[in-house]
A = this chain, B = another copy of it.
Amino acid sequence: MPVPRPPIAYTAYRNATFPYPGVAADPHAPLATVVRMTDETCAVLRGIIERRRDVRAEFTGDPLDDAVIRDLLTAAHAAPSVGNSQPWDFVVVRDPDLLSSFANHVDECRQAYADSLTGERRDTFNPIKIEGIRESGLGIVATYDPTRSGPNVLGRHTIDDAGVFSVVCAVQNLWLTATAHDLGVGWVSFYRENFLTDLLGLPEHIRPVAWLCVGRVSKLQETPDLIRFGWNDRVPLDQVVHHDRW
């Protein structure tokens, strides 16, 4: 059923640079010094953040335009990174044989996990689908290159993990952008890193960080799967906020 759009004051902005809707700019001053975000901008972002889901079962398999994939990668590539090292790579996987090999491996890891559970937890876990690797038809693998930007990455001498954390920021940029494009993303972590390294021929120093199933979806669930299936529940925000000291 086609969804009616409300009247909007903007023309298409997909290919626009500034000004974005809800973003006011003084044309007489340098861009970033005067651009103001508005209540509307906050609301749009909040809508995207709340709408984002970790998708397993709802992929349709309809292929994506290269331009859309490019938009997702552009968003990822605009992430913050320690020492501006931009230590990520992205492998766009559409080869059905690769998808199938990875899905088979993930099935084995799923079984190993199921075998580690007992009683009620096992029964709760059994019906939960944990990946949509074949159904999405597209995997985007984000990897970490610790050698990017040379031997003395600014800000990584104290916290070496800040490098791989940068890749995760890129993943989250991609995920939110996919949500804004009305797409689903599912982060699969049921795999052994060395399997993925071999499957995709990653160089030895490159660490796979995430396999993201990306694709069109029939819908996005309103409630996260693991809550719907009774696996666990939301933690209240107040429970995780502290002031000054723990």
- Measured CB to CB, the residues of A under 8 A from B are 1, 3-10, 12-14, 16, 18-26, 29-54, 71, 73-75, 77-80, 82-86, 88-95, 98, 109, 112-113, 116-117, 121, 125, 128, 130, 148-150, 152, 154-159, 161-162, 164-165, 168-169, 171-173, 175-177, 179-182, 187, 189-193, 200-203, 206, 209-210, 219-222, 224, 226-227, 231-232, 234-235, 237, 240-246
Provided the pairs A36-B5, A209-B165 are in contact, do residues A202 and B246 lie with their beta carbons within 8 angstroms?
Answer: yes
**With A21-B8, A182-B36: A93-B244 Cβ-Cβ less than 8 Å:** yes
Between-chain CB contacts (< 8 Å), 25 pairs: A6-B19, A8-B22, A13-B43, A31-B222, A32-B53, A33-B222, A42-B177, A42-B181, A46-B71, A79-B172, A80-B175, A84-B232, A85-B232, A90-B240, A90-B241, A90-B242, A91-B242, A95-B244, A113-B154, A116-B152, A157-B190, A158-B192, A161-B164, A165-B209, A176-B176
What number of copies of this chain does the assembly contain?
2
Contact assessment for A8 and B40 in the assembled complex, using a CB-CB cutoff below 8 Å: yes
Q: Least Cβ distance of A74 to chain B in Å?
A: 6
Whose C-beta in chain B lies nearest to the C-beta of A241? B90
A66 CB, nearest partner CB in chain B, Å: 11
Contacts of A155 in B (CB 8 A): 130, 189-190
Which B residue's beta carbon lies closest to that of A185?
B80
Chain B residues whose C-beta falls within 8 Å of the C-beta of A20 in the assembled complex: 43-44, 46-47
**Could you tell me if B240 and A41 are in contact, using CB atoms closer than 8 angstroms?**
no
Report the bound CA distance from A51 to B19 in whole Å. 12
Measured CB to CB, the closest approach of chain B to A207, in angstroms, equals 9
Which residues of chain B have C-beta atoms less than 8 A from A180's C-beta? 37, 41-42, 44-45
**Interchain CB contact under 8 A, B45 and A177:** yes
> Bound state CA distance, A84 and B82, in angstroms?
27
The reply to whether A117 and B242 form a contact with Cβ atoms under 8 Å apart is no
A45 and B42 contact, Cβ closer than 8 Å, known pairs A237-B74, A245-B91: no
Find chain B residues with CB under 8 A from A6 CB. 19, 24
Contact: A80 with B52, CB < 8 Å?
yes
Instruction: Flag if B246 contacts A91 (CB, 8 Å).
Output: yes
Q: Which residues of B contact A221 (CB under 8 A)?
A: 32
